[in-house]
Chains A and B, each alone.
Chain A
Amino acid sequence: MIYDPIDIALLLGKIALVFFVILTLAAYLVFAERKVLAWIQDRKGPNRVGPFGLLQPLADLIKLLTKEDFRPIGADKWLFYLAPAMAAIPAIMIFAIVPFGAPLTLFGHTVQLQVSDLNVGLLLFMALSSVAVYGVALGGWASNSKYALLGSIRGLAQLISYELSMGLSLVPVVMLARSFRLSDIVNAQAGCWFIVYQPLAFMIFLISIAAECKRIPFDLPEAEGELVAGFHTEYSGMRFGLFFVGEYINIIVLGGLATTFFLGGWHGPFLPPAVWFSAKVLAFAFLFIWVRGTLPRLRYDQLMHFGWKILTPLALVNILVTGWWLVLRG
Chain B
Amino acid sequence: MYGDCYPDMETYLFYILAAVAVIGTILAITEKHPVHAIVYLVSSFFSLATIFFLLAAPLIAMFEVIIYAGAVMVLFMFVIMMLDLGRTDEAGRPVLKQWLLPILLGGIILASIGVIAAGYASAPSAPGAITVRDFALTLFRKYGVAVEIISMQLLFAVVGALYLGRRRTP
- Please report the C-alpha to C-alpha distance between residue A137 and residue B65 in the assembled complex, in whole angstroms: 17
Inter-chain contacts of A47 with B (CB < 8 A): none
Could you give, for residues 104-119 of chain A, a 1 whenever the CB lies within 8 Å of some chain B CB and a 0 otherwise? 0000000000000011
Chain B residues with CB under 8 Å of A4's CB are 2
A137: B residues at CB distance < 8 A: 74, 77-78, 81
| Interface residue range, chain B | 20 to 34
- Asked if B59 and A123 sit within 8 Å, CB to CB, the answer is yes
Partner of A124, one of B2, B62, B74: B62
Size category, A interface:
20 to 34
Q: Is A153 an interface residue (CB 8 A)?
A: yes
Complex interface residues of chain B between 14 and 56 (CB less than 8 A to chain A): 35-36, 39, 42, 49
Using known A-B contacts A137-B77, A137-B81, determine if residue A119 contacts B132 with beta carbons closer than 8 Å: yes
Known: A3-B6, A156-B74. A141 touches B35 (CB 8 A): yes
Binary per-residue interface labels of chain A (156-176) against chain B in the complex, 1 for a CB within 8 Å, 0 otherwise? 110010010000000000000
Contacting residues, chain B, for A126 (C-beta < 8 A): 62, 66, 70
- Alpha-carbon distance between A76 and B65 when the two chains are bound, in angstroms: 25
A138 touches B75 (CB 8 A): no
Q: Is B82 an interface residue (CB 8 A)?
A: yes
Q: B70 contacts A133, CB within 8 Å?
A: yes
Q: Are A157 and B81 in contact (CB under 8 A)?
A: no
A131 touches B132 (CB 8 A): no
Name A105-151 residues within 8 Å CB distance of B: 118-120, 123-124, 126-128, 130-131, 133-134, 137-138, 141, 149
Residues of B within 8 A of A153 (CB): 78, 81-82
Tell me the complex Cα distance, A99–B75, Å: 32
Complex CA distance for A118 and B66, rounded to whole angstroms: 16
Q: Given B35, B49, B69, B70, which contacts A138 in the complex, CB threshold below 8 Å?
A: B35
Q: Is B71 an interface residue (CB 8 A)?
A: yes
For the complex, is B3 an interface residue (Cβ under 8 Å from A)?
Answer: yes
Contact of B69 among A123, A130, A152 (CB under 8 A): A130
Complex Cα spacing A180 to B134, Å:
13
* Chain B binding surface SS class: helix
The answer to whether A79 has its CB under 8 Å from any CB of chain B is yes
Query: In the docked arrangement, what's the CA distance between A153 and B129, Å?
Result: 39
Complex contact A3–B3 (CB within 8 A): yes
Counting CB contacts under 8 A, is B131 at the interface? yes
Chain A residues in 8 Å Cβ range of B3: 2-3
With A119-B131, A156-B77, A180-B132 known as contacts, the answer to whether A130 contacts B71 (CB < 8 A) is yes
Which residues of chain B have C-beta atoms less than 8 A from A133's C-beta?
70, 74
Task: Give the one of A5, A134, A152 with max B CB within 10 A.
Answer: A134
Whether A118 touches B58, Cβ cut-off 8 Å, given contacts A141-B35, A152-B81, A180-B132, is: yes
B19: min CB distance to chain A, Å: 20
| Interface-central residue, B75, B77, B82, by most chain A CB under 10 Å | B77
Provide the bound-state CA to CA distance between A72 and B66, in Å: 32
Cβ of B12 to closest chain A Cβ, rounded Å: 15
CB neighbours (8 Å) of A5 from chain B are 2
Which of A127, A134, A156: most chain B CB closer than 10 A? Answer: A127
Residue contact B132 to A120, C-beta cutoff 8 Å: yes
Residues on A with beta carbons closer than 8 Å to the beta carbon of B2: 2-5
CB distance from B132 to the nearest CB of A (A): 6
Per-position 1/0 for B91-132, Cβ under 8 A of A: 000000000000000000000000000000000000001011
- A120 to B6, alpha carbons, bound, how many Å? 23
Contact A119 B78 (CB under 8 A): no
Name the distance in Å between A323's Cβ and chain B's nearest Cβ: 13
Q: A4-B2, A79-B35, A118-B58 are in contact. Are A141 and B132 (CB under 8 A)?
A: no
Within the assembled complex, what's the spacing in Å between the Cα atoms of A137 and B38? 12
> Can you list 17 A-B pairs with a CB-CB distance of less than 8 A?
A3-B2, A4-B2, A79-B35, A79-B39, A119-B131, A120-B58, A123-B62, A127-B69, A127-B70, A130-B69, A130-B71, A131-B65, A131-B69, A134-B42, A156-B77, A160-B75, A163-B70
A-to-B contact residues, CB < 8 Å: 1-5, 76, 79, 118-120, 123-124, 126-128, 130-131, 133-134, 137-138, 141, 149, 152-153, 156-157, 160, 163, 179-180
5 closest A-B pairs by beta carbon, nearest first, are: A130-B70, A3-B2, A123-B62, A127-B65, A120-B58
Apart from A127-B49, A160-B74, what are 10 other A-B pairs with CB-CB below 8 Å? A3-B2, A5-B2, A118-B58, A119-B58, A119-B129, A120-B58, A120-B59, A120-B62, A130-B70, A138-B35
